[in-house]
Amino acid sequence: MLTDTLLWACLMLILLAVGGGWLIRRLFRHVIQSISRTTQAITHGDMSRRMPVQGTDDELDEIAITINEMLDRISRLMEGVRQVSNAIAHDLRTPIARARAQLEDAALHATSEAELRAAMEQAASNLDNVTAIFEALLRIAQIESGARRSAFVQFDLVPALQDVADLYQAVAEEHGLKCVRHLPDHLPFFGDRAMFQQAVANLLDNAIKFSPPNGTVTLSAEILTTGRHSDGSSDRQLNLSVTDEGIGMNEADMARASERFFRAEQARHTPGSGLGLSLVEAIVHLHDGQLHLASNTPGLLARITVPLPDEATTSSERAGDPPHPF
């Protein structure tokens, strides 16, 4: 009886093992075939294809969801690259073509050396414009890669902001605008001083550029406590905003404003290349912050928020640091 039982048990075991193995293999084959079908379709150019998700919340669904997220990100990156290359082709052609036409015209029609010289200077300034656009694009790419985080230091944001505001105050007054600042005495901040100044300068530049005379441009900065924890620590964030009373933007344009080369229809007749807000956004993201645009009725409100480390942890963590100069 014992031998019989053992034999049957062995047989059952073998059957179960083979059956189980077959089932698992079928399952894997099904998943792999589905991945393979999707990747093949994508290889043939159909970037819209995604892995089927069964909604069963198991490991297979998890793989499908992860792969789909990866494909979404690749699509977004490809769309970005396509849009930037189109924009480069479009926006750089104009100043180059203009410079060429000026030189050609001067070569054919200039009657004096002075005319020739003027045409060459014009052409050189158009080409400088092209170089500036390339430099801005490269800077944005460099900042987005996060390479410059090593230059972060602890500094007081207030004098840095005052310096930028002083510069733009003169420009604003020339445009007949009033420049108002709401700044506290000190704002300790950890980041890249020059880049942060560049971001604020770009926002002030836009505020002035897109405002008719007699408006007010406001620069304000403060630290807000956004939440408190039971252990006594709190969430704090830097709120920096630039507001103007100019032409403003509609919702659809605001959503696209920080795309590279984007310029709203009403902005066509003002000088610019549509890279200013892209640079601002790249700098703010590098500081783990966000750039928000909203209506100021009339005008635009551009706000930068950056989460700050808790005061308690900062002071204990940095206890060994040399004293700050402020």
Ligand X SMILES: Nc1ncnc2c1ncn2[C@@H]1O[C@H](COP(=O)(O)OP(=O)(O)O)[C@@H](O)[C@H]1O
- Exposure string (b/e) for 247-273, b if CB count within 10 Å is 16 or more? bbbeeebbeebbbbbbbbeebeeeeeb
Q: Which residues fall within 8 angstroms of residue 89, CB to CB, at 6 or more apart?
A: none
What minimum distance in Å lies between the beta carbon of 299 and ligand X? Answer: 6
Q: Where are the alpha helices (DSSP H) in 110-189?
A: 113-144, 157-174
* Number of other residues whose CB lies within 10 A of the CB of residue 83: 14
What minimum distance in Å lies between the beta carbon of 267 and ligand X? Answer: 3
What minimum distance in Å lies between the beta carbon of 123 and ligand X? Answer: 22
Residues near ligand X (CB under 6 A): 202, 206-207, 210, 244, 246-249, 257, 262-264, 267, 272-278, 300
Q: Looking at beta carbons only, is 217 or 308 nearer to ligand X?
A: 217
SS3 at position 216: strand
Pairing of strands 290-295, 300-308: antiparallel
For residue 187, how many C-alpha atoms fall within 13 Å in the half-sphere facing its CB?
23
Q: Looking at beta carbons only, is 119 or 137 nearer to ligand X?
A: 137
Q: Looking at beta carbons only, is 229 or 268 nearer to ligand X?
A: 268
What minimum distance in Å lies between the beta carbon of 205 and ligand X? Answer: 7
CA 227 to chain centre: 26
Q: Which does 120 bind (CB under 5 to 8 A by kind): ligand X, Mg ion, none?
A: none
Q: Looking at beta carbons only, is 51 or 203 nearer to Mg ion?
A: 203
Phi-psi label, residue 304: left if phi above 0, alpha if psi -120 to 50, beta otherwise: beta
CA angle 208/212/216 to nearest 5° reads: 60
Q: Looking at beta carbons only, is 195 or 275 nearer to ligand X?
A: 275
What minimum distance in Å lies between the beta carbon of 55 and Mg ion? Answer: 46
What minimum distance in Å lies between the beta carbon of 306 and ligand X? Answer: 20
Q: Looking at beta carbons only, is 195 or 267 nearer to ligand X?
A: 267
**Is the separation of the CB atoms in 205 and 256 below 8 Å?**
no
What minimum distance in Å lies between the beta carbon of 278 and Mg ion? Answer: 9
Q: Which does 187 bind (CB under 5 to 8 A by kind): ligand X, Mg ion, none?
A: none
* Cis previous bond, 298, omega within 30: yes
Q: Which does 244 bind (CB under 5 to 8 A by kind): Mg ion, ligand X, none?
A: ligand X
Phi-psi label, residue 10: left if phi above 0, alpha if psi -120 to 50, beta otherwise: alpha
Q: Which does 296 bind (CB under 5 to 8 A by kind): Mg ion, ligand X, none?
A: none
Q: Which does 275 bind (CB under 5 to 8 A by kind): ligand X, Mg ion, none?
A: ligand X
Q: Which does 210 bind (CB under 5 to 8 A by kind): ligand X, Mg ion, none?
A: ligand X
What minimum distance in Å lies between the beta carbon of 168 and ligand X? Answer: 13
Q: Looking at beta carbons only, is 139 or 263 nearer to ligand X?
A: 263
Residues near Mg ion (CB under 5 A): 206, 276
- Amino acid letter for position 255: A
- Position with the least CB separation from Mg ion: 276
Q: Which does 200 bind (CB under 5 to 8 A by kind): Mg ion, ligand X, none?
A: none
Q: Which does 263 bind (CB under 5 to 8 A by kind): ligand X, Mg ion, none?
A: ligand X
Pick the closest to residue 196 from 166, 152, 261 (CA basis): 152
Phi-psi label, residue 297: left if phi above 0, alpha if psi -120 to 50, beta otherwise: left
Q: Looking at beta carbons only, is 155 or 261 nearer to Mg ion?
A: 261
